[in-house]
Structure 1
Amino acid sequence: MIQRYKKAFLLVFLSLAALSAQAQTAAELETMYTRVFNTYNGPAGYDLSNQNADGTFKNVVYPAAYPSDKTGGPRPHFTEMVEIARAYHTQGPSYKSDEYLDAYCKAWNWWTATNPTDTNWWYRSIGWPNSLIQSFVLMAKDLKEKRPTVYNSLVSFLMFEWTPEKLEEYKQEPDAANTTEVCKYIMATAIVNGDTKTLAEVAEMFYSLIKIEKEDRTNGIQPDFAFNQHTGNGRQLYMGNYGKEYLGGISYYMSITSGTSLAVPADKVKIYEDLFLHGVAWFMYRNVYDYNQMGRRILGDGYEKTVACLAALINENTPQKAKLQELYNWMTRPADANQLNVLRGNKMFWRHDYMVHKGTNYYATTRMTSPRTVGNESANGEGLNNFYTGSGPNYVYITGTEIQDIYDDMNWRRLPGVTAPQRPMSVALPTVPIGKGGNSLNPFAGGVSDGRTGAAGFMYNMNKSGEIRLSANKSWFYFPDYIVALGTDIKAVSGLNVPFTTTVNQVKYTNNFYVDNNGQEASLVNGQSLAPVTSNWAHLNNIGYQFINNQKLNFEVQTSGNTQLAWIAFNHGNFPAAEKYAYAIYPNVTKEQLAQKVSSTPFEVVSNTASVQCVVDQNLKVAQAVFFTAGRQNLPGDLGFLETDQPAVIQLRWTNDSLYVAAANPFCETMPVASITVKVKGLYVGEQTTAEPSTQVSTVVVPMPSAIEFQGQSVLVGLRNATVLSSTQEMAEKGTALLVYPSPAVSGTQFIIQNAQAAGRKEPQKVRIYSLAGLKVQETLVKPNQENQLHISTAGLAPGLYVVSCEGRVAKIVVQ
């Protein structure tokens, strides 16, 4: 009997649990339905006389035949259906009117009867369903009740992509942006239809798309937080185009499922936040994306859509909301507001051979390529001029519109930083379908960064029959207020009978182009050119240029299409054999400020050879070197030398008591290495560092990342001057003792220095705390109390042994 009651109780309990789960599911479905509905709804009026008797619309241009050719054919037909649906839900004569319901059904019946097609698969799988889903969500409930045949037809059309076979394909090879676009309308359809099974599948798919992609050529978020799409021929930057669609899909899902059992897990939210903070934030400036992020064409809505997605993420009150809000505030300021970049400094995106530098009110990027990466692609009749976008373009932005200003009329063989033959613009460039054929063939391409400054370089090797056969070693050195560009060993095989040039810049002419013409200042006007010229400087559109190699300069202003273009370049001749160039870029300077830079150059080009390119700023105490081979480079002044045991990109930064060594493997995963051994002048101590007093040389083994996908990432090692270290330790051992208590002191509390000064004196005392490595970790000015005591906080001190110094006396204290 008791057993029977137990079974009965269990059945009741399970039934109640099932009912509770059903109630929760029903409540969540209703919540999500309301959110989806409100996303698409809005007040509208619609004049039904715009609709023809067959269901078409008078203001829509329909193709004469199908399939349409990569145009999407009658896609605006769905826009009219959306307006009818909104009018149907707007209070007034059209509200819930059968006339409007019939007009909607008539429009859909035309579509099903005609069955439009297009040669581009994207329209049937993504474009058309995402246009249709808006009106379907608004009309679904009434259609299901009053026009079930139409309702079922719409559901069938929208669920076309969600077969078991295609779902498995999406799972095995998720396509980042495209997959999120499919999931958006499938999700909305499932919510409206109460299809919890499909909804769960969509949730699983969205979760799988929010991850760091580790494989070589996968679409989506990469370990360096850049975004890939169309990676069949190499990793391709695409944040400003496909990336913004990916952001839109993820933000849509998060906003609809927020607070439900299908909400995005915390670890996935963190990845999505970091994509904005460590990726997106670096790719834009003054309300535009860097052109390198645009893929095959410039889209006008990329920035605005990204801002909207960021706002949606902030609305979710995620853990990093404060940082995201700071980014949002910067992104939504007026484009001409003269505010500092929200991020200032330097970042190397090692998975993409791409360096970004944000200075004070300027922005610059370098896009190299290798067999691992490609430049901007050609596809669907777009990006037909993108051949040289992977050849080292070095864009410098001040207004932010430098590329848009000339996009339709620019000479694509004259991208800034690129070395190319100057064939007539009428000669078509080779196309680069999915990036194929537009990348350098040499695997050496990489850079080093410590977050403040950095250097990038590649061994450029381009071979395209009929266009170019050229090799060169090229590097860019980014300092806070200027950029140095070096090129050497430029060699070309050519029968084109045209000169090869390295473009310094190509911009819109604005009556502000001054140059040094063989020692005399000249001002260029439209239709004028100076070549070849010996020149030390040029000033164009608030950017100053200093020519370290000052021979064979070309200056030109010519009209192209509807745009007057100004051009600065080095002319290497028709058959370059061992050509070089070296120049500096000073963004946001006046002509007078440029003259000061030229007369007192802040840097020194130490080497520009096929073995190593090296630039040093002695005032900043920063040395940057791109070693194409293992070797040693002597440095100017008292900086000694820099040596590496293998090809590497290295930066040294000296401070008062320390040396910071940053190093990276420019071959990335192509030739992974466990470590890079660096030798420098001087005696230093640190992890994996040995100092030899007899030679005054220190050797540091810089460990490279062990994970293959992080090969190429910069590693920063801090070293302490051995002399400073030994003096600190000696001070602790032999100095006159202070009375300090309690010891150990608990971290976050205070310790006391007793009798810190002679009785009767009440002046504030300077107290310094050092780690045993000799690093000063705290300095405070404290006034003694009535008992002649100094109370010192340990807040911020990690557990360990420290040396306390005050008034020439010292003591050791333990913090725990």
Structure 2
Amino acid sequence: MVRFPLLIAVAVTLLACTQADDAQDSIQMLYEQKVASIIPWSGATAEDVQSYISTLKGDGTWAEVNYATGCDAQRANWPAGVGHWNRILAMAAAYHGAPGAEEYTKNPELRGAISRAMEYWFANDFSTIGSGACMDGGGKVDDTCPCGTPGLWNTNWYSNVILVPRTAGSACLLLRDELTPTELGNCTHITARAYTVFYRDPQPSYSAGANTMEIASIGITAGLLENNRTGNTTRLFDAFERIHNGLVIENEDRVDGVKPDGSFHQHIGIIYNGNYGAVYASNVRAVELQARNTMFQANQTGRDVLGLLTEGTRWMIFSDPVAGKHYWDYTVVPRFIAFALADNQATSGIGGNITEIRVLGDAWNQAQMQRFARDLGPVPTSVNAGPLIGNRMFWNSDYMVNNILRRDICVYLHAKLSPGTSHQGYYHHP
């Protein structure tokens, strides 16, 4: 006769094995889907990759890149971080087999060039030869990373916390299975270091809002590299939890985020579906596409919030049948209204990838996202965003849309909800 304790022990062991298998399957699927999402924006072309290989110097740098660092470096779009790592990312994508550069798949010469370029940055990283304080304290008075501190760093925290770790981490993921132990250690260090800002008490102010999504996404990359490439389930769950904690409805006035009426607020109560809201929704979709059909994907509540935002946003779009494009109603791109179409800002079109909305909508069976993709996917034939006819009031934003056949009317009111903080009063936020 088998004793009950033995049966229980066997059952617990089987359950633990099943859960472990589920976790590893989810990690592998997450990895594959994240890699697939990196390739399209890697910029890999055979011509560029050949140029990067031929112009790479013996020390792992490019003459065309401005490697000014520290207090001498340009703060926005740091040339060293952008120029160096964008080249490595394109080369890593080509090595991985990116369309348009297939001839470089598993090319030994290319792999050697990638290693040399990576080694230059890793050897000169601010944590290696300078001070860890340079991550977000560089050049500040009374900090431990004064001007002149050696290493590759920027006085703008964004370059050290997001810009470089995001691109470097993506390149590392493309090479994950072939990274040398030294490369893997440095790749893991740079991505995990960015994520440590969440563990500070208090957390830096920049770790909130839209930056939470960016830093958490870098944490996902770290989690896929850690434990010798097998993945760190704890970090992955933590990163996705931080993302999903932001996927909620904000009911209070002048609290930014997704509102109950489907509008999106930024800058303390300004309707901004056409810029900040669009970027936020795009970033969430990107992460959820990577996580679809895994244990890390959003629950039903989070899916409903993204669906609400998508449905509300659909009413804030008009079309130009001559140009064959969809555009934001100018009310929902406040300060970006000043940009010309040629500036490729929010006034230039709704941007985004409608195919991604359809794919995620189908994966979740989310009707509002499916409807958005169905209605806005075809080339427009009228000023309406697809067949959308009717009236919609956004009560959280004092904003009303009335769509009748071939005509689109939007009214932006002002009341106690509208802060009117710009020098132009209630017209547009500065």
The bucket for the TM-score relative to the shorter chain is 0.7 to 0.9
Structure 2: give runs of 5+ residues left out of the alignment. Answer: 126-150, 320-325, 340-344
TM-score, length basis structure 2: 0.75
Match of 1:310 in 2: 357
Change in 2 beyond 3 A, CA 1:325/1:6 = closer
How far apart are 1:190 and its partner, in Å? 1.3
Distance 1:265 1:97 in 2: 42
Matches within 5 A, 1:738-757: none
3-state SS of paired residue (2:76): coil
Distance 2:365 2:377 in 1: 20
Q: After superposition, what is the alpha-carbon deviation per residue over 1:708-736, rounded to whole angstroms, capped at 9, x for unaligned?
A: xxxxxxxxxxxxxxxxxxxxxxxxxxxxx
Q: After superposition, what is the alpha-carbon deviation per residue over 1:320-371, rounded to whole angstroms, capped at 9, x for unaligned?
A: 1xx5444323323335x23644333333323223333333323343444556
3-state SS of paired residue (1:163): helix
Structure 1: give runs of 5+ residues left out of the alignment. Answer: 378-385, 394-434, 439-816
Which of 1 and 2 has greater Rg? 1
Q: Give the partner amino acid of 2:28.
A: E
How far apart are 1:150 and its partner, in Å? 2.1
Change in 2 beyond 3 A, CA 1:79/1:29 = same
Match of 2:274 in 1: 240
Q: After superposition, what is the alpha-carbon deviation per residue over 1:486-543, rounded to whole angstroms, capped at 9, x for unaligned?
A: xxxxxxxxxxxxxxxxxxxxxxxxxxxxxxxxxxxxxxxxxxxxxxxxxxxxxxxxxx
Distance 2:426 2:363 in 1: 41
The yes-or-no answer on 1:20 pairing with 2:23 is no
3-state SS of paired residue (1:303): coil
Contact 2:261-2:395 at 8 Å conserved across structures: yes
Contact 1:241-1:294 at 8 Å conserved across structures: yes
Distance 1:212 1:170 in 2: 23
More strand by share: 1
The yes-or-no answer on 1:185 pairing with 2:218 is yes
3-state SS of paired residue (1:313): helix
Change in 2 beyond 3 A, CA 1:164/1:339 = closer
Matches within 5 A, 1:156-195: 156-163=189-196, 165-166=198-199, 175-193=208-226, 194-195=231-232
The yes-or-no answer on 1:76 pairing with 2:89 is no
3-state SS of paired residue (1:262): coil
Q: Give the partner amino acid of 2:243.
A: F
Contact 2:223-2:236 at 8 Å conserved across structures: yes
Change in 2 beyond 3 A, CA 1:208/1:310 = same
Match of 2:377 in 1: 332
Match of 2:406 in 1: 361
TM-score, length basis structure 1: 0.42
Match of 2:393 in 1: 348
How far apart are 1:269 and its partner, in Å? 1.3
Q: Give the partner amino acid of 2:378.
A: R
Match of 1:154 in 2: 187
Change in 2 beyond 3 A, CA 1:316/1:354 = same
Match of 1:219 in 2: 256
Change in 2 beyond 3 A, CA 1:20/1:202 = same
Q: Give the partner amino acid of 1:84.
A: M
Matches within 5 A, 1:191-340: 191-193=224-226, 194-231=231-268, 235-277=269-311, 279-286=312-319, 287-297=326-336, 298=339, 299=345, 303-305=350-352, 307-320=354-367, 323-334=368-379, 337-338=381-382, 340=384
Distance 1:303 1:8 in 2: 61
Match of 2:112 in 1: 102
Contact 1:73-1:116 at 8 Å conserved across structures: no
Matches within 5 A, 1:108-119: 108-112=118-122, 113=124, 115-119=151-155
- Which has the higher relative contact order, 1 or 2, with Cα contacts under 8 A spaced 6 or more apart? 2
How many aligned residue pairs are there? 373
More helix by share: 2
Contact 1:368-1:392 at 8 Å conserved across structures: no
Q: Give the partner amino acid of 2:215.
A: V
How far apart are 1:49 and its partner, in Å? 0.8
The yes-or-no answer on 1:86 pairing with 2:98 is no
3-state SS of paired residue (2:79): coil
Distance 1:12 1:172 in 2: 49
Contact 2:224-2:232 at 8 Å conserved across structures: yes
3-state SS of paired residue (1:210): coil
Q: After superposition, what is the alpha-carbon deviation per residue over 1:654-706, rounded to whole angstroms, capped at 9, x for unaligned?
A: xxxxxxxxxxxxxxxxxxxxxxxxxxxxxxxxxxxxxxxxxxxxxxxxxxxxx
Change in 2 beyond 3 A, CA 1:248/1:314 = same
Contact 1:66-1:117 at 8 Å conserved across structures: no
Change in 2 beyond 3 A, CA 1:26/1:69 = closer
Q: After superposition, what is the alpha-carbon deviation per residue over 1:296-329, rounded to whole angstroms, capped at 9, x for unaligned?
A: 4351576121635423332314141xx5444323
Q: Give the partner amino acid of 1:288.
A: Y
Change in 2 beyond 3 A, CA 1:173/1:38 = closer
Q: Give the partner amino acid of 2:363.
A: E
Match of 1:415 in 2: none
How far apart are 1:195 and its partner, in Å? 0.7
Change in 2 beyond 3 A, CA 1:229/1:155 = farther
Across the aligned residues of Structure 1 and Structure 2, the Cα RMSD in angstroms comes to: 3.2
